[in-house]
Chain A
Amino acid sequence: MAEVTKLIHKYLRHDKKFPHVWCPGCGIGIMLGALIRAIDKCGFTKDEIVLVSGIGCTGRLPVYVDFNTLHTTHGRALAFATGVKLANPKLKVIVVMGDGDAVAIGGNHFIHAARRNIDLTAIILNNSIYGMTGGQYSPTTPYGMKTTTSSFFHIEQAFNISELAVTAGAPFVGRGTVYHARLLDSLMEKAFLKKGFAVVEVISHCHTQFGKLNKMGTAVEMMEWQRDHAVTVEKAAQMKEEELKDKFRIGILIDKELPVYLDEYEKIRTGSSGSGDRRP
């Protein structure tokens, strides 16, 4: 059996009604592949993984895989995940979100999760648009682009999700694309093994909505765009700012050590354990 087939049989749900909801050529499948390969490589058991998502195309991801899966309300995945992790720290909690889910409706939860540094992994698929609802502009839609709610041109500036995560205090932030699939595997693996809040931004494409409205071609052509505009962190360090103008960096943007929430909370627990609780 080929390696890829083995993982499909091991991790996809056999009792789930397929086919999946994603369009042919969508990048979410590539991200799911990377996610499964990284989980398998890290050696987590299926029982200890909790895969949490919000709403949208990316939000549909957990239903297909054989973990403890939680498909929450729009934007709130990280808040649900916070409760799961704090109630049972033994669980490995992974959160998948789209760009609208993570930094529009869920933006507040995102920056606070980064600041709080609970041991969670946040994977954000950024395709610059709301796909499921039919192609409206999202907080990561670049200036000047067309969407179904900016049919003239988009007049807002876009969020840079990874930089937002770094600024908000996340100790690990990586960015990859669905074109650079092997890099994505390694970023996810590192993020899963990181103690603390780890973010992986996955630059993807929505050829059905964003690509069509902006004449960017097929899924393949949009992935070629990713190839041509992504620059590794190492290479970017050698380049001038002007050369980087229409490029984005991929790789590990930050990896630092910070006190992890549950370790700190344990200090509170043990520090006060002497008095006990004698009240009814």
Chain B
Amino acid sequence: MKREKKKNFRELLLQGNEAIVEGALRAGCRFFAGYPITPATEISEQLSTRLPKIGGTFIQMEDEIGSIAAVIGASLAGAKSMTATSGPGFSLMQENLGFAIMAEVPCVIVNAMRGGPSTGLPTSPSQSDVMQARWGTHGDHPIIALCPSTVRECYDITIKAFNLSEKFRNPVIILVDEVVAHMREKITFYDDEEIDIFNRVKPSMPPEWYIPYEDTPSGIPPMANFGEGYRYHVTGLTHDIRGFPTSRPDEIDPFIRRLFRKISQHFSEIQFGEFFETDDADISIIAYGCVARSAKRAAIDARARGVKVGVLKLNTLWPFMRTAVEKVLNTSKIVIVPEMNMGQISREVKRVNKGPTKIFTINKVDGTIITPEEILARIKEVG
């Protein structure tokens, strides 16, 4: 009799986009609406076959505006929901992204970043939507944006994105660049992996006591799904604690401040990244996405040549990881920020730099990745 060796793990060769699909399903995503766009289409294709098998729903909408609208609607009806797009589609989603922030509807938006502006470079990587993720929708608002740099991180960060959106009742954007979205890497899933899944907090009081937008110590009111007996009003208009439109200054101000506070008083739960040999580094590189991989390689190679280089990899782009960045600004003489844009995160690094640390950038906008050699050359140049 043949004995089968029972494995307690599975190894798969997955694309970043595929790992996002796995992460979404693991997190409990049951609704996806999207519109075809390179380089995010694999996410739609896979979810169109996976979701119906587990009682979920996939729909291809008529455009990205409709996609995010359907995602918000589905979330209000109780389903963990997601959409995936790239630059042009992300631009179209901005208005309804603001709606989700205003009405505090959890949802996840994947933006596989390609070169822009406009139609730009559909199959080439870029990191140029970082500021759009922060300020793309009109009005003053808080946002959460996460950025993976490996296939495994695509999986973990997608789960985290769902958890954060459910917890903070705010949309969470995953900014993945085309390199990571399309790159294949081995990913290992262990059977006994402990993964935390957070589901939105529902009201525990009877419907007549429920005040849908009432402030709480955490700043996050419990959320009732449509059809569960808690009939309330959801609007993109500035509203009072009952959800009804208001133009009273004494109601507007605490509401907007609460939206910010619910994120700002929980930075430690939202912000994460990796310090790679930064403690003794003379030169630190602050990088994210595919560039963080090149930065790590460059740091290892530089150390082999006797130059103390470290890397701070940012996985949370928004809210900006000020504390982590300040830490390397305090310990390094030089900070280099390589980015595949004209300088979006480097502006933030410069903004928080209050000391004598010199900040240099590498800005590449030709649709190709920043290589370890290019970072090494910059280290040599400024070091």
Contacts and interface: CB of A to CB of B under 8 A. Distances in A.
Q: Judge: A and B partners, yes or no.
A: yes
Interface of A: 15-17, 46-48, 50, 52, 62-63, 66-73, 76, 79-88, 90-91, 108-109, 112, 265, 268-269, 272-273, 275-277, 279-280
A71 B231 contact: no
A73 B95 CA distance: 8
Interface stretch (B25-33, B125-133, B256-264, B306-314): B25-33
B53 A82 contact: no
Nearest to A47: B229
B244 to A, nearest CB: 6
Contacts of A52: 73
16 contacts: A16-B244, A62-B233, A63-B235, A69-B232, A70-B226, A70-B233, A70-B234, A72-B69, A73-B95, A80-B70, A84-B74, A85-B77, A87-B74, A87-B75, A279-B22, A280-B10
B113 interface: no
B71 A83 contact: yes
B72 interface: yes
Contact of B66 (A47, A50, A76): A76
Interface in B114-160: none
A273 B51 CA distance: 10
B61 interface: yes
Contact of B231 (A66, A86, A88): A66
Given A63-B244, A84-B73, 10 more contacts: A15-B242, A47-B228, A47-B231, A79-B65, A80-B76, A87-B57, A88-B77, A91-B226, A108-B63, A272-B53
B254 interface: no
A178 B159 CA distance: 51
A192 to B, nearest CB: 17
A109 B96 CA distance: 14
Interface in B35-73: 49-50, 52-55, 57, 59, 61-63, 65-67, 69-73
Interface of B: 10, 22, 25-26, 30-31, 33, 49-50, 52-55, 57, 59, 61-63, 65-67, 69-79, 81, 95-96, 99, 189, 193, 225-229, 231-237, 242, 244-245
Contacts of B231: 46-47, 66-69
Contact of B70 (A48, A82, A276): A82
A87 B105 CA distance: 14
Contacts of B193: 280
Nearest to A50: B226
A118 to B, nearest CB: 9
A133 to B, nearest CB: 15
A17 B248 CA distance: 12
A105 B134 CA distance: 26
B53 A275 contact: yes
B227 A68 contact: yes
Nearest to A62: B233
Nearest to A52: B73
B59 A82 contact: yes
Contacts of A273: 53
Contact of B25 (A46, A69, A91, A279): A279
Contact of A86 (B57, B96, B242): B57
Contacts of B99: 72-73
A63 B72 contact: no
B57 A108 contact: no
A275 B53 CA distance: 8
Contact of A90 (B62, B81, B95, B227): B227
B27 to A, nearest CB: 11
A83 B73 contact: yes
B30 A265 contact: no
Nearest to B96: A73
B360 to A, nearest CB: 41
A22 B30 CA distance: 39
